[in-house]
A and B are shown apart, each in its own frame.
Chain A
């Protein structure tokens, strides 16, 4: 009957080994997934110099070039150029732009490279939680989001 019972002496050891294996497994898995899935932050010049593999999620931060925003015929897709002092990257975005998204201002675009165009899923105008007044800084999730939502 005792085929399913572990030898008494070893039970604690087995549990510890199990926990350690799970922990190490979680660690290795996390390390592997992070190396594949973390979205790196690029400046336009970095993106131009060493583009990420196509389809990999990255973030692109820079200035929206003046006069570069063009709305497509569908009324919801825009093309514009994000630049720094060395490089210019064309960006396409479909969606509702944040209020502070204007030409000449900073922007962080989340998305991926498709050919030479950066396709953004999400735009964050460079006006975010950093301007939360000190008094409001002890915030919970929800409050912090309120302010981010407000300023985005």
Chain B
């Protein structure tokens, strides 16, 4: 019953989305403007219905209803609760339903609370949102119905690869989805504003919380994904520039740019056209990312992984939405009147610079990611890796961070360099001192890590400067958000540069009893023995690691062998100190009976992820501040309206 209910509700929600689109479109014509009244309720109802559909699917997974094909293929009655739950979205159909659910709920939420926008613009936005959802409804209902029943219930579910039963994996995809979907709302706002030619501060203020929310989730998703890759892959790296990673980075870059241009538009009514275009680009990057990952067009070394049907569907959606929006943009952009002006030295200028640099990096990453596809079309196989991405993105990232240090202390509209001499001089001195120290103390260091080590402290100092001279208790939350977010970038940069500059690696064949020196650590292989886990057996090394002569800590890297389905995985062991991490991997036994061991000492490497978390925290504070202010304003306007009403009587 539940499955049928879910499907029926899903169809109804899709029908409502059609209604929302049609009514919304008609309401924009004067003749049929009376239809505007139904758009909001329809959007809310649509969100509620699709939530019921998603809840049904969760219920089916939790109760392991094996008569449902999706459950039988992806779950197992003996799975722990949390993985049954995660199983709901751990597959194609379920994840698409989740996507639509978040999207429609967000649409319903906009319909429910958004009061700042002109009504027409809001209606156009909701119609745009319905248009986007419709594509995904079609995808779900026509090509990937999650509620299909089996002719005969399966005796038991097929289960899930034990490797995918990892708590991080269970919640990583939804995190990114929320980010992507948040950007779809920003996209709808941008389309709505273009349709009604109503690109202004109100539009930016309505869009900003959604962009912020999406951006927080993207930041978290990327940070967590990076740490996960670091500790599971056993290669000691934290970012590999592989297409799947790039697919998550590109929307983040676009969203970061959008966030900043949005604040210019909200505060100063400038950068109108640019913000609208970024709104379109940010969402298109999430769809491009989804497309690249889903279609397997890049990750595969083999045609087998390319799935033309699914790829085609996403590609078609991509073409319709993004192509359509960009066409609309091209037709309308010239009619968007120019916003407020600003001087060359002003906060606006700094933010424009930041935007241009972010877009530059975005372009660099996109081109590098697609390049193998381009050459392959011409019959040459290439791969593009860190030797391309690192220096080329740094060409844009370094000037951006320099300006980032100055931008927040500049005034809006117009400023003079003379006013902020001190605010420029202090970070500049810190950076110069750091550069000197790095060059003197640690001489041969590659250029990029050296620059990173020099810029990071200066940027950190510069980040907190906007707080100097302020009454800290009366400083609005968004300012704290900005400070902490920028500080997070400095912290992460320091971690990256330190990892690049100071990592030491030791690869050795060891007998039990042998010792090696890895950076400040003396590591001793004490023993190697078998251990057993729930569905694996492993060889486990016992390694004693002693930091600069201190009492040793024991590390247990493992080489695991899974029974069913069979597979191997190395389980690295980490020892975290305040000033870095020791990373140990157990390899194979050589012919002579010695064991291959690999160690890294990575000074300050955890700062990469602490920094990422700080950036997300900064976003959260800014979001809280904005929402709190919006709620206050909402309450205030309601009060005024209420009073007026009473006076009117």
A residues at B contact (CB < 8 Å): 4-6, 8, 11-12, 15, 18-19, 22-23, 25-27, 29-31, 33-34, 37-41, 57, 59, 71, 74-76, 94-97, 99, 110, 128-132, 134-147, 149-151
Distance A110 CA – B294 CA, assembled complex (angstroms): 26
Residues of A within 8 Å of B412, CB to CB, are none
Picked from A19, A128, A140, the residue with its CB within 8 Å of the CB of B176 is A140
Neighbouring B residues of A131 by C-beta, 8 Å: 304
Question: B296 near A99 (CB under 8 angstroms)?
Answer: no
A59 to B375, CA, bound (A): 15
Can you give 12 contacting A-B residue pairs, CB < 8 Å?
A26-B363, A38-B375, A41-B381, A41-B383, A96-B507, A129-B299, A132-B305, A135-B92, A140-B169, A141-B225, A142-B224, A149-B569
Q: When the two chains form the complex, which single residue of A34, A40, A97, A147 contacts B588, counting CB atoms closer than 8 Å?
A: A97
A99 to B508, CA, bound (A): 18
Contact B229 A145 (CB under 8 A): yes
Whether B356 sits at the interface, judged by CB under 8 Å, is yes
Which B residues are CB-close (under 8 A) to A25?
360
Q: How far is the CB of A97 from chain B (nearest CB, A)?
A: 7
B173:A140 contact, CB within 8 angstroms: yes
Taken together as a complex, chains A and B put the C-alpha atoms of A139 and B173 apart, in Å, by: 8
Contact pattern, B 224-259, Cβ under 8 Å of A = 1, otherwise 0: 110011001110000000101101100000000000
Contact present for A39 and B382 (CB under 8 Å): yes
Interchain CB contact under 8 A, B363 and A27: yes
Q: Which of B16-24, B114-122, B391-399 is found at the contact surface with chain A?
A: B391-399
Flag if A57 contacts B294 (CB, 8 Å): no
State the B residues within 8 Å of A (CB). Answer: 73-74, 91-92, 95, 158, 161, 163-164, 166, 168-169, 172-173, 176, 224-225, 228-229, 232-234, 242, 244-245, 247-248, 274, 293-294, 296, 299-302, 304-305, 307, 338, 341-345, 352, 356-357, 359-360, 363-364, 367-368, 371-372, 375, 380-385, 387-388, 391-392, 395-396, 414, 416, 507-510, 567-570, 585, 587-588, 590-592, 594, 596, 598
A-B contacts counted at CB < 8 A amount to 203
Taking the closest CB of chain A, its distance from the CB of B43, in whole angstroms, is 28
List 7 additional A-B contacts (Cβ < 8 Å) besides A19-B356, A75-B510, A141-B225.
A5-B344, A31-B367, A41-B382, A130-B304, A146-B232, A147-B163, A149-B163
Q: Are A23 and B363 in contact (CB under 8 A)?
A: yes
Contact B172 A71 (CB under 8 A): no
Select one of B169, B341, B568 contacting A11, CB under 8 A: B341
Residue of B whose beta carbon sits closest to that of A99: B568
CA distance in complex: A115, B87 (Å): 52
Query: Which residue of chain A has the shortest Cβ distance to B158 in the bound complex?
Result: A135
* Interchain CB contact under 8 A, A29 and B395: yes
**Pick the contact of A23 from B224, B233, B360 — CB < 8 Å?**
B360
The verdict on A96 contacting B585 (CB below 8 Å), with A30-B368, A74-B509, A135-B91 known, is yes
Contact residues in A for B359 (Cβ distance below 8 Å): 19, 22-23, 26
Known A4-B345, A57-B385, A135-B91; contact A142-B168, beta-carbon cutoff 8 A: yes
How close is B400's CB to chain A, nearest CB, in angstroms? 11
Known: A41-B382, A76-B596, A141-B225. A22 touches B300 (CB 8 A): no
Establish whether residues B248 and A96, one from each chain, have CB atoms under 8 Å apart when the complex forms: no
Contacts A4-B414, A33-B391, A129-B300 given; does A39 touch B383 at CB 8 Å: yes
B509 proximity list for chain A (CB < 8 A): 74-76
CA distance A117 to B199 in the complex (A): 62
Instruction: Give the residue among B372, B385, B414 with the most A Cβ atoms within 10 A.
Output: B385
Task: State A135–B164 Cα separation when bound (angstroms).
Answer: 12
**Contact B381–A40 (Cβ < 8 Å):** yes
Q: In the bound complex, how far is the Cα of B308 from the Cα of A134, in angstroms?
A: 12
Cβ contacts under 8 Å, B293 to chain A:
139-141, 144
Q: Is B367 touching A34 in the complex (CB atoms < 8 A)? A: yes
Q: How far is the CA of A34 from the CA of B74 in the complex (A)?
A: 41
Q: Determine if A22 and B360 form an interchain contact, defined as CB atoms under 8 angstroms apart.
A: yes
Closest to A134 in B: B307
A140-B383 in contact given A19-B359, A150-B569 (Cβ < 8 Å)? no
B352 / chain A contacts, CB cutoff of 8 Å: 15, 18
Chain B residues within 8 Å of A39, by CB: 382-385, 387
**Minimum Cβ distance to chain B for residue A52 (Å):** 12
B596 adjacent to A96 (CB under 8 Å): yes
Most chain B CB atoms below 10 A, which of A29, A76, A130, A147:
A76
Whether B248 lies near A22 (C-beta < 8 A) is no
Q: In the complex, what residue of chain B is closest to A57 when comparing beta carbons?
A: B387
Residues of A within 8 A of B594 (CB): 75
